[in-house]
């Protein structure tokens, strides 16, 4: 059985990663979400075990000590990590796994899995990014400035990504990410078994 593919959606805070991620996974049920572990406090509506596994810093440190993470990173004073076992299991079963993850996590996953398909989600400009961060109404002025600086640093690392999607229109962005997934499925390397089955059948 062909192993599943690993997808990464990354990009600056405010680019719309979460919404695009949720919609893409809803449209392509073969894709499984990876649920991250975090030490940050749940936002309103976030449920433990669905959006994140929420852990205390002590529990998190213990998981690190036991080597249970595929990647782990500290962002804005909180830890985020990807538990290794469920991801490897899903890929072996032929499912695809998709991560919505910050650029540090993306980099670490790419290091361990160079075949991971990394998609950078970006607004069409920094001005629009700023507007969206302000529209959240949850960010302090300091936090907005920090995130904008971070966004510039993140975009300048574009070379570590395979694809870039500009989220100027949510539906278009979702369509484009879905296209990327559908196209990846058609890559020769993901169809070697099917091709060999056809070639073998001719020998009979």
Contact 123, 132 (CB under 8 A): yes
Query: CB of 95: closest distance to a second copy in angstroms?
Result: 20
Residue number with CB closer to a second copy (68 or 184): 184
Q: Is the dihedral of CA 129, 132, 134, 138 positive or negative?
A: negative
Residue 177's nearest CA partner among 98, 91, 88 is 98
* Integer angstrom CA distances of residue 191 from 4, 95, 120, 197: 12, 15, 26, 10
Query: CB of 148: closest distance to a second copy in angstroms?
Result: 8
Residue number with CB closer to a second copy (12 or 81): 12
2: three-class secondary structure by DSSP:
coil
Chain centroid, CA 63 distance in Å: 21
Query: CB of 162: closest distance to a second copy in angstroms?
Result: 6
Within residues 27-46, the interface with a second copy by CB under 8 A covers none
Q: Give me the DSSP letters along 26-49.
A: HH-TTEEEPPEEE-SPPPTT--BT
88: three-class secondary structure by DSSP:
helix
Residue 178 CA to residue 83 CA, distance in Å, equals 25
- Of 26, 57, 64, 195, the residue at the interface with a second copy (CB under 8 A) is 195
116 binds a second copy (CB under 8 A): no
Residue 179 CA to residue 176 CA, distance in Å, equals 5
Query: CB of 188: closest distance to a second copy in angstroms?
Result: 6
Residue number with CB closer to a second copy (63 or 122): 122
Residue 168 CA to residue 152 CA, distance in Å, equals 17
Contact map string, positions 152 to 191, toward a second copy, x by CB under 8 A:
x--xx-xx-xxxxxx--------xx-xxx-xxx-xxx--x
- Of 122, 135, 146, 150, the residue at the interface with a second copy (CB under 8 A) is 122
Residue number with CB closer to a second copy (13 or 38): 13
Residues in contact with a second copy by the rule CB under 8 A:
119-120, 122, 124-126, 152, 155-156, 158-159, 161-166, 175-176, 178-180, 182-184, 186-188, 191, 194-195, 198-199, 201-202
């Amino acid at each position: 059985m062909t192993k599943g593919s690993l997808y990464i959606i990354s990009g600056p805070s405010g680019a719309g990663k979460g919404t695009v991620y949720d919609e893409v996974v809803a449209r392509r049920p073969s894709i499984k979400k990876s649920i991250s572990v975090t030490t940050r406090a749940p936002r309103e509506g976030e449920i433990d075990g669905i959006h994140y596994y929420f852990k205390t810093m002590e529990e998190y440190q213990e998981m690190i000590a036991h080597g249970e993470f595929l990647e782990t990173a500290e962002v804005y004073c909180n830890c985020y990590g990807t538990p290794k076992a469920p991801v490897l299991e899903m890929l072996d079963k032929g499912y695809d796994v998709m991560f919505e993850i910050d650029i540090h996590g993306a980099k670490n996953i790419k290091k361990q899995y160079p075949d991971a398909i990394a998609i950078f989600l970006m607004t069409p400009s920094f001005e629009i990014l700023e507007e969206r961060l302000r529209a959240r109404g949850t960010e302090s002025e300091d936090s907005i400035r920090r995130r904008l600086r971070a966004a510039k640093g993140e975009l300048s690392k574009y070379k570590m990504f395979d694809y870039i999607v500009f989220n100027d229109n949510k539906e278009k962005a979702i369509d484009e990410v879905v296209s990327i997934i559908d196209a990846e499925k058609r890559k020769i390397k993901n169809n070697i078994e099917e091709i060999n089955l056809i070639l073998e059948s001719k020998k009979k």
